[in-house]
Amino acid sequence: MRFGVLGPLAVWTPAGDLVLVPEAKVRVLLAALLAREGESVSADRLLLDLWGAELPANPLGALQTKVSRLRRAIGPHLVESGPAGYRLRAETDAQQFADLLGAAEDAPTRARAELLVDALDLWRGQAFAEFADEDFARPVAHRLAEQRLVAQELLAETRLELGEVGAVLASLSDLAERHPLRERLRAAHLRALYLAGQQAEALAGYAELRERLADELGADPGPELTALHESILRQDPGLRVAARPRTNLPAALTHLIGREHAVGAVRALLGAHRLVTLTGPGGVGKTSLALAAAGNAGDFPDGVWLVDLAASTVDDVTEAVARVLHMREESGGDLPAHLAAALRDQRMLLVLDNCEHVVAAVADLVAFLLRAAPELRVLATSREPLVVPGERVHIVLPLAPADAVRLLVTRAEAAGADLSTADRGVLTALCLRLDGLPLALELAAPRLRLLGPPDLLSRMDDRFRLLTTGGRIAPPRQRTLRAVIDWSWELLTEPERILLRRLSVHAEGSTMAAAETVSADGLLAAGDVLDVLSRLVDRSLVVVAEGPRYRLLESIGDYARARLADANELADLQSRHLAYYLDLAEQARLRDARAQQWLPRLDSESANLSHALDTATRNADLDGALRLARALVWYWFLRGRLSEAERHLQRVLDLPGEHPVRDSVSAWLTGFALLRRGGADEKARASATGQPTTDPDAAWFLGVCLYITGGDLAASAARLSAVSTTDPWLRAAHLAVTSFQSIMRGALTTAHDQASAALGVFESLGDAWGRSQASHTLASLAEITGDYPTAVRLRTAALEQAHRHQLWLDVADQLTGLARLDLLSGDLPLAESRHSQARRLAAEHGYHAGIVHADLGLALGARRAGDLADAEKLLHQILDWHERVRYSPGVALATAELGFIAELRGQADQALSWHTTSLDTAAASGDPRSIALAKEGLAGAHSLAGHHDKAETLLAEAAEARAAVGAPLPPGERADVDRITARIQGSPG
C-alpha cells in the first residue's frame, strides 16, 4: 500500500488503484497516524485526535473499533499495536518527496531538474488537505509546505542554469505574488526577468521588494539579493546562461509519462556500456525513452546526435549517419573509414533509431565504429538486438497499469475529453486491453472526446478500425495500430509468420510443449518450433513470461488471429487446441498428493482451458464441451471459481443432444448454483434433493452443497447416504461431511470417530482439501469442549495448508474458525480483522455461505465490544438469510443473539420474545447445544424482569443439556451466563 498526504488523504494499492477508507473517524485515525510518520501514538492521544473533549461512552472500545475498521480497509498488518500505542508502517508520498529532494541536491544539473519535477509532481494540493487545521496535522503540514517551496526555488535555479528561462517565468510569476517576502524565490524570479530581456521589470521588482521589506519587517534585502541587483544594473555577463551542448535532439512536445525510472536506468547503462540497445514491440515507446535518456545522458562535449533510420535501406545506413554528422564522402573514399577517423577522438553519443529493418547493416557499422572510436557511445532502438560484442540490451516493457492510466488520461484531457468522473476500473481495463503500449494509448486518447471509457472499452475487439487517429507529424507506420504491426509482419520469414499466427490460438500464452503440439504440421515441423519461436522472441513479437510461457500482446494476438483466418487455418487450430487441453484436464489428478503439481499447472493453463471450453461450446462440439466441463468441475470448486463454473456448465448444457456425462454435469451445475446463492435458489434446492445421477461424485457433491448452504439437513443426509462407492477418497469425503452433521445432532463421540477416520484416509492419500475438512470437524469439537489450544493448532495447520494450495473457500472457512477462537479468547481486534479478511475472500469467490459465516462472527464480536447497533444490523441480515433457506440452527443462533442484545439494553419483553423463538426453533432442529443457548437467553430475560427462580431453573436445565452431550459451557462462552448469574445472585432476597 502507498499513502498520500500531499493533498487530500489517499491510499493506493501497489497497482495504483485507489483504496476506499470509509467513515470520517477512520479517516481521521489514518491521518493522525500518518502525521506521526511511523512513531507510536498513545491511545489517549488518538482519543483526543478523534473526539477531542467529547469522548464516546466506551472510549477504548470505540478506538479499537476504528482501528479494526482501518485494518479492514488497508490490511491487517500495517497498523501495529504495542505498549506505546499504535503506529502505522506506511510508504507515503511525503517520504518519496523527501527522498527525491535529497537526491536532487547532489545531482548533476539536468538530473537535478528531473528529480525535482518528479518530486513536485507528487503534490495534489495542500498537505493533509482536509486535516491541515487539526492540531495533529498542522506542524507536519507546515513543514511539508516549506519543503515544497524550497523544492520550487531549487527547481527554478536549476532551470535557469539549463537556460529554461521561459519555463521559470511561467512557474514563478504566480508563486512570487503568493510569497512576496521569500528572498530566494524573488531572486530566481528577478534573474529570470533579466535573462528574458526584461531588465526594467527586474529592477522594478527589486525596488518593490525592498520597499515591502522595509514597511512590513523593517529590514533591507539580504546580501545575495543586493549583489544580484547590482549585477543586473551593470548587466554582468556572469548572469548569462552557458551555451547548450551540441545536439540535434528534438525538443519534447509532451511530458514523458511512466518512464521516470527507465530513463535513469538507461542513463546508468550508458555510463557503464558503450553500446546500449533498447528493444521491445512496436509502439512500446523505445524512441521516446531513448530521446529522454539521451537528453542528459552525461558529459558528451562533442554532442548527442540522433540518426533516424526508418527510411534507410541496408545500403545507405552509413550515409544516414554521415549526413547527420555533416560529413561528406570524398571521391573514391571509404565512407565507414572516413567516419571512423572523424570520430576517433570524439566523446559523443550517437542515437540510432529504428534499426530493426536494417539490423545487420547497423550491427556491422556500430561494431566498426566502436572499435575505432574509444570515446564513442551508441544508444540504439530496435525490435531485436544488434548482437554486437559488448552490447547491453534493455527491454522496454509496456507501461504498468497505473502509469498507463495516467498517460491515457493526460493525453485524452489534452485532446478535450473530460475524465474527471471516469471509473478508474474501466480506465485500467481499457489500458490492459491496449497492452499498456504508449502508442496504442496515444491513438485511443482522442477517441475519448466522443466515446466514454466504457463505450471505448466495449469496442476493443475492433481496435484496428478504431485506432486510426495518429498525429499528423507521426511517420505513416505509427499513425494507426495496424500499420505498426504490419511493419513487424513484413520483416518476418514464412516459418515465423506461420508460427506467430498459430500461437494466437492460445489464450494468455502457452508452454513450449503446447506450442510444439498445437502448431506443428507439414508446414512447420515440431523440431523447428523452438528455433522459430526464439527468433520471434528476439523480434519482440513474443513475450517470455514466468514458467517459461510464451505469449502475445493482445494487439499482436488480434492481428495474428486475423492472419490465421486469412490462411484458412482457424478451425483446424481450434480443434488441435481443444484436443491438447482436454487431454491435459482429463489427466489431472487433484485428490491425492499429486494435486500439489497439478493445481499450479491447471492454474497456469486456466485461460486456455476456459478458452477451449468457450470455443467448443460456440462451435457446438457437444462431446468436447461436456467432457472438458466435467473434467474441470473439481478444479473450479477447489479454487473457489463458483461463478465461472456455473457460467460454463450452463452454456454447455444448453447444447442439444444426448451424452453419457450430461446428467453428471447437470448435477454439478445444481451444486454450484446452491453455493453461489447460498441455498436461496429454490429451483436448485429442489433439484439437489431429487435430481437423479449415476455419478457418485456428483451425488456426494449435491449432498455437501445442501449441507453447506443450510438447506434441509435430512435431505442432505439422505443424498449422502445414497452414495455407494468403493473409492477410498469418496468414502472419506462422505465421512468428513457426515461428521459435522453428527455435531449438529449432539453426537460428539460419533463425530470425532468419523472425522478421525476420514483424516486417516486423507493423510494416506496426501489430499490437502480432505485433511482440511476433517480437521474442521476436529477443531470444532475441541472448541466445543473448551480445548482452545488444540482447536487453534488444528485450524492454523489447516489454514496454512489451504493457503499453500490456494484452496480459497477453505481459507475463508478456516479464517472464520480462527477468528471465532480469537473472539472466545478475548482478542476482539484480531477477531474482527480475521472475520473481515474471511468475508472479503468469500465475497471475491461468490461464496455466499462463507460471507454469512463471517458476518455472524463480526456480529458476535460487535456485541462483545458493546457496539450493539452494528451487531443488531448484521444479525437481522443473517436471520433473514437463514429464514429464507430454512436453516433452523442458524435461525436459532441469530434470534438468541438478538435476544442477548435486547437484554443488554434492558428490554426484558423483547429479549423474552427473541429467546422464545430461539428455543422453539432449536427444539425443532434437535441440536442440544442450541436448546441450551436458548434457555440461557431465556434465563437472562427472566432475570431482567425479576423472575429469578425461573431464571435459575432455566440455567440449570441448560447446564444439564450441555453435560448430557459431553459439552459443558467452555470458559470463552461463559460471559452471558456469568452476567445473568451475577444479576440473580445480586437480587434482594
pLDDT tops 50 at residue 257 = yes
pLDDT tops 90 at residue 699 = no
**Torsion angle in degrees (nearest 10) through CA of 278, 284, 290, 292:** -150
State pLDDT tens for residues 847-897.
888 999 999 999 999 999 889 999 999 999 999 988 887 788 889 999 999
pLDDT tops 70 at residue 300 = yes
Q: Where are the alpha helices (DSSP H) in 520-621?
A: 529-538, 554-566, 570-587, 595-604, 606-618
Alpha-carbon distance values, 554 to 281, 464, 537, 578 (Å): 12, 12, 15, 21
pLDDT of 236: 79
Question: Cis omega before residue 8 (within 30°)?
Answer: no
* DSSP letters for 576-590: HHHHHHHHHHHH---
State pLDDT tens for residues 507-554.
999 999 999 999 999 999 999 999 999 999 999 899 998 889 999 999
* pLDDT mean over 80-84: 86
- Which of 256-260, 680-684, 957-961 is predicted most confidently? 957-961
CA–CA dist 729, 771 (Å, integer)? 11
Query: Is-contact 657 674, C-beta < 8 A?
Result: no
Query: What's the one-letter identity of residue 457?
Result: L
**Torsion angle in degrees (nearest 10) through CA of 456, 459, 462, 464:** 0
pLDDT of 162: 78
State pLDDT tens for residues 47-64.
999 998 888 878 888 898
pLDDT tops 60 at residue 722 = no
CA–CA dist 884, 878 (Å, integer)? 10
pLDDT tops 90 at residue 108 = no
pLDDT of 924: 86
Q: Coil, strand or helix: which one is 10?
A: strand
State pLDDT tens for residues 162-205.
777 777 777 787 888 888 888 888 888 888 888 877 888 888 88
State pLDDT tens for residues 930-986.
999 999 999 999 999 999 999 999 999 999 999 988 889 988 899 999 999 999 988
CA–CA dist 807, 850 (Å, integer)? 13
pLDDT of 479: 67
* pLDDT mean over 392-396: 96
Q: Where are the alpha helices (DSSP H) in 312-434?
A: 317-324, 335-343, 359-372, 401-414, 424-433
Task: Flag the least confident range among 321-325, 361-365, 793-797, 852-856.
Answer: 321-325
pLDDT of 854: 96
- Give backbone dihedrals phi and psi of 81, rounded to 5 degrees, phi first: -125, 145
pLDDT tops 50 at residue 331 = no
Side-chain-side CA neighbours of residue 14 (13 Å):
1
* DSSP letters for 776-788: HHHHHHHHHTT-H
State pLDDT tens for residues 476-507.
665 688 888 898 899 899 999 999 999 999 99
Beta bridge partners of 543: 551
Q: Which residue has the higher pLDDT, 453 or 77?
A: 453
pLDDT of 474: 56
Q: Coil, strand or helix: which one is 550?
A: strand
Q: Are strands 2-4 and 91-92 parallel, antiparallel or unpaired?
A: parallel
CA–CA dist 832, 813 (Å, integer)? 14
pLDDT of 871: 94
Whole-model pTM over 0.75: no
Task: Flag the least confident range among 105-109, 816-820, 852-856, 936-940.
Answer: 105-109
Q: Which residue has the higher pLDDT, 21 or 162?
A: 21
* pLDDT mean over 124-136: 88
Please give the mean pLDDT across all residues of the chain: 89
State pLDDT tens for residues 763-790.
999 999 999 999 999 999 999 989 999 9
pLDDT of 160: 84
Side-chain-side CA neighbours of residue 197 (13 Å):
1
- pLDDT band at residue 717, thresholds of 50, 70 and 90? low
How much of the chain, in percent, has pLDDT values that exceed 90?
Answer: 57
CA–CA dist 435, 556 (Å, integer)? 9
Angle between helices 24-35 and 59-74 (to 10 degrees): 80
Alpha-carbon distance values, 154 to 159, 240, 622, 667 (Å): 9, 18, 71, 71
What's the DSSP call for residue 377?
E
Query: What's the one-letter identity of residue 779?
Result: A
State pLDDT tens for residues 395-425.
999 999 999 999 999 999 888 888 888 898 9
